[in-house]
């Protein structure tokens, strides 16, 4: 019997990284993760037990723009039904006291049907991928999602704001490091002004890497370009350093002088936490990324003049804004497990 099983959405590595941050503050709680894609690799490399069971449908992205969102929604529904069966087996195997989910709603439904305590970690309360007839289907899915959220014992939102009903806003959830920026830069071999380009765990951000390389070639400045291409892309370009897949992106961001990234919330929050200036380009049609980017003054069209923006941002002053959302979230989870 386990205290906690954490079902982590594999759609983007940001879910895994913030769950790792929370789990690092739950050393006195027995726990196990369930996820898929590239997430189990980063979870296990950070010292946690994890089962690689989920196979999510990939976003269809071409030149940085989402295509066929309705087809993706149908694929997601099929994936959701598979996740219900998987999570039922996992819960039967481990009999946890509490089930925590980072945007994996299938596990919450199964756990709630079995009368288990449930916790949801999420930064979205409804989706907005489709238009036309697809929006009607998505509207029904959002209604179902709302009911699941209302049944949770605790909903943790990694953002600032007021609490309401079962929803608690703890602020951004990010990973900490015990090393100084100078130590990390030496470890990574960063000796000059360094621009880091990160695209997460899929190949959806390939367009951003290509545009960043093109923009950097136009810039007449003494800077190094470092790519974090993740597990899905093999980028070989003379003169460009590619770190590939890393399990410590937060440290790479801390060491960088500028980060250029897709507009995922976790990467944005880590850049804010460590004070690293950032340029965040959303996938066009991805409502969550577009909302995140808009809050920071960016849109997809900024990809067209990336060289100019890099020159504007590369010498921007660092302004760290330390967050303690991971500790707050962990303490709330601990109380529920121990109750």
Is a pLDDT exceeding 90 seen at residue 230? no
Match 């960016």 to its residue by tokens.
298
Task: Give the model's pLDDT for residue 317.
Answer: 95
For range 43-59, the mean pLDDT: 95
Instruction: Please give the sequence-ordered ranges of beta strands (E in DSSP) within 170-249, or none if there are none.
Output: 193-198, 223-228, 241-242
Percentage of the chain lying above the pLDDT 70 cut: 98
Cα–Cα distance between 110 and 119 in angstroms, integer? Answer: 13
Percentage of the chain lying above the pLDDT 90 cut: 78
Contact 280, 309 (CB under 8 A): no
Contact 243, 259 (CB under 8 A): no
The pLDDT tens digits for 249-303 are 999 999 999 999 999 999 999 999 999 999 999 999 998 999 999 999 999 999 9
Phi/psi class of residue 136: alpha, beta or left (left: φ > 0; alpha: ψ in -120 to 50)?
A: alpha
Output the six-digit token pair for 331: 């303490």
Output the six-digit token pair for 271: 């850049």
For range 59-81, the mean pLDDT: 86
Is a pLDDT exceeding 80 seen at residue 134? no
DSSP for 283-313 reads PBT-HHHHHHHHHTT--GGGGGGHHHHHHHH
Confidence of residue 318 (pLDDT cuts 50, 70, 90): very high
Is a pLDDT exceeding 70 seen at residue 124? yes
pTM recorded for the entire structure: 0.93
Average pLDDT score over the chain: 93
Instruction: Please give the sequence-ordered ranges of beta strands (E in DSSP) within the chain, or none if there are none.
Output: 4-8, 31-36, 50-54, 61-62, 65-66, 98-102, 117-121, 154-157, 167-169, 193-198, 223-228, 241-242, 258-262, 278-281
Task: Give the model's pLDDT for residue 297.
Answer: 97
Task: Provide the b/e sequence for 235-261 (b: ≥16 CB within 10 Å).
Answer: beeeebebbebbbbbbbbbbbbbbbbb
Beta-strand relationship, 223-228 and 258-262: unpaired
Task: Give the model's pLDDT for residue 130.
Answer: 67
Is a pLDDT exceeding 90 seen at residue 139? no
Confidence of residue 136 (pLDDT cuts 50, 70, 90): confident
User: Which residue, among 323, 334, 333, has the nearest Cα to 158 in the 3D structure?
Assistant: 323
Output the six-digit token pair for 202: 């899929």
Contact 335, 279 (CB under 8 A): no
User: Which residue, among 305, 220, 325, 210, has the nearest Cα to 265 in the 3D structure?
Assistant: 325
The pLDDT tens digits for 175-186 are 999 999 999 999
Contact 25, 327 (CB under 8 A): yes
The pLDDT tens digits for 168-226 are 999 999 999 999 999 999 999 999 999 999 987 777 888 999 999 999 999 878 899 99
Contact 5, 13 (CB under 8 A): no
């Amino acid at each position: 019997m386990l205290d906690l099983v954490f079902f982590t959405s594999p759609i983007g590595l940001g879910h895994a990284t913030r769950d790792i941050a929370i789990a690092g503050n739950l050393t006195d709680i027995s726990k196990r993760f369930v996820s898929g894609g590239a997430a189990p690799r980063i979870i296990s490399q950070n010292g946690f037990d994890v089962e690689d069971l989920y196979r999510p449908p990939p976003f269809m992205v071409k030149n940085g723009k989402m295509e066929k969102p309705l087809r993706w929604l149908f694929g997601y529904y099929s994936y959701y039904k598979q996740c219900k069966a998987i999570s039922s087996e996992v819960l039967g195997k481990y009999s946890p006291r509490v089930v925590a989910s980072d945007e994996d709603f299938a596990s919450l439904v199964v756990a709630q049907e079995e009368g288990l305590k449930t916790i949801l970690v999420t930064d979205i309360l409804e989706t907005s991928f489709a238009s036309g007839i697809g929006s009607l289907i998505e509207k029904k899915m959002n209604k179902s999602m709302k009911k699941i959220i209302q049944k949770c014992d605790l909903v943790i939102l990694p953002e600032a704001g007021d609490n309401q009903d079962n929803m608690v806003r703890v602020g951004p959830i990010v990973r900490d490091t015990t090393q100084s920026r100078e130590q990390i830069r030496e470890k990574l071999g960063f000796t000059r002004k360094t621009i880091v380009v990160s695209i997460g765990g899929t190949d959806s951000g390939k367009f951003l890497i290509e545009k960043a390389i093109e923009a950097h070639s136009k810039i007449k400045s003494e800077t190094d370009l470092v790519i974090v291409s993740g597990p899905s892309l093999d980028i070989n370009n003379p003169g460009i350093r590619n770190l590939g897949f890393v399990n410590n992106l937060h440290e790479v961001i801390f060491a960088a002088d500028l980060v250029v990234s897709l507009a995922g919330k976790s990467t944005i929050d880590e850049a804010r936490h460590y004070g690293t200036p950032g340029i965040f380009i959303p996938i066009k049609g991805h409502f969550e990324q577009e909302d995140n980017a808009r809050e920071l003054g960016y849109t997809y069209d900024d990809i067209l003049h990336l060289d100019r923006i890099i020159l504007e941002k590369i010498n921007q002053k660092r302004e760290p804004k330390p967050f303690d959302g991971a500790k707050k979230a962990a303490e709330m989870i601990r109380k529920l497990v121990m109750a």
